[in-house]
Amino acid sequence: MTPLQVQNRAASDLGILRLGQALRPEDLTRIEAAYDEVYAQLKKEGLTSWTDDVPDAVVPFVVSLICENCLGTYGVSPERYQRIVNVSTTAKVKIREQVNPAHVSMSDPEDF
């Protein structure tokens, strides 16, 4: 997905974007800033394997981190808040699993 598609999905998950609508300029600016902040943090931790499109396998986790980043800006229902927090607590672990798959040693093979 393109970064804009990821940002729109985060806006939808936050409840500020409905189908067929466009984000208001101030919301777009906030969501873009959240994406940039999340990307910078993931890059710092060595968890980005992309420069343009976000790999499908990590999209839900990047979206949850963007949403978590925006929770102080947008009021959400307790249920929505809990959904966002539940996914975001393990998001970096899940991204790490996708970006850095487990190493399989070729020098010490397992005997099956």
Q: What is the value of pTM for the model shown? A: 0.85
Q: What is the pLDDT at residue 44?
A: 94
- 52-107 tens-digit pLDDT: 899 999 999 999 999 999 999 998 999 999 999 999 999 998 998 888 765 555 66
CA distances from 81 to 4, 16, 22, 35, 93 (A): 22, 14, 23, 18, 20
* Spans of all domains in the chain: 3-99
| pLDDT per position as a tens digit, 24-60 | 999 999 999 999 999 999 999 999 988 889 999 999 9
